[in-house]
Amino acid sequence: MGGKGSAKRKNKGKKGGDPRKHGQGQGGGAVWNDYRDAAFTNSQVLGQGSLTANTYVQQYAPVPTALDALPALPQEFTGRADDLAFILGVLDPDRPAGIPAVAVLSGWGGVGKTTLAYAAGHAAQQRNWFTGVLLVDLRGYDPHPTQAEDALEALLRALGVRPEHLPAPGAGREALYRSQLNLRQKAGERLLVVADNASALAQVQPLLPPGHHGMLVTSRDGLAGLGRLRTVNRLQPEDAVTLLQAALKKNDPDDARVEEDPGAAERVVLACGCLPLALQITAALLAQDPGQPLSERADALSQTEGVLDGLSDGQRSLRAMFDQSLERLSPQEQDLFRLLSLNPGPDIATPAAAVLANQPQPATERHLRQLAASHLIERNPTVRGRWQMHDLLRAYANEQAEAVKARGRDPRRRYDQARTRLIDYYTDYAEAADTHFRPPGSAVSSRFSDREQALAWFDAERENLIATAHSTPQAGLQLGFYLGRYLKWRRRLQDLVVVRSLALDTCRTLNDTHNEPNAWNNLGTVLRQLRRFDESRHAHETARTLYQQTGDTHGQATAWNNLGGALKELRRFDDARHAHETARTLFQQTGDTHSEAMAWNNLGTAYRGLSRFEEAAAAGRQAVEMLVAAEDWFRTGQGWGELATTLTASGADPGQVRDAWNESATAYTRAGADEEAAASRAHTNSTANVEEQLSAEACSPSEESSDGAGTGTDA
C-alpha R_g of the chain = 36
Mean pLDDT on 93-120: 92
Amino acid of residue 127: R
Q: Quote the crossing angle between the two packed helices 361-373 and 331-340, to the nearest 10°.
A: 90
CB environment 517-552: b (16+ within 10 A), e (fewer): bbbbbbbbbbbbbeebbeebbbbbbbbbebbeeeeb
> Which tens digit of pLDDT belongs to each residue from 554-584?
999 999 999 999 999 999 999 999 999 999 9
Name the burial class of residue 402, with classes exposed (0-12), middle (13-18) and buried (19+) by CB atoms within 10 angstroms of its CB.
middle
> Which tens digit of pLDDT belongs to each residue from 38-70?
444 444 443 444 444 444 434 444 445 668 878
> Which tens digit of pLDDT belongs to each residue from 228-272?
999 999 999 999 999 999 999 999 999 999 999 999 999 999 999
CA dist list (Å): 442 to 436, 594, 596, 600, 712: 9, 11, 16, 21, 12
Mean pLDDT on 598-620: 94
Mean pLDDT on 81-109: 93
pLDDT at 613 over 90: yes
Cα 111 from Cα 114, distance rounded (Å): 9
> Which tens digit of pLDDT belongs to each residue from 349-374?
999 999 999 999 999 999 999 999 99
Mean pLDDT on 81-87: 96
Cα 567 from Cα 552, distance rounded (Å): 22
The predicted pLDDT at position 173 comes to 92
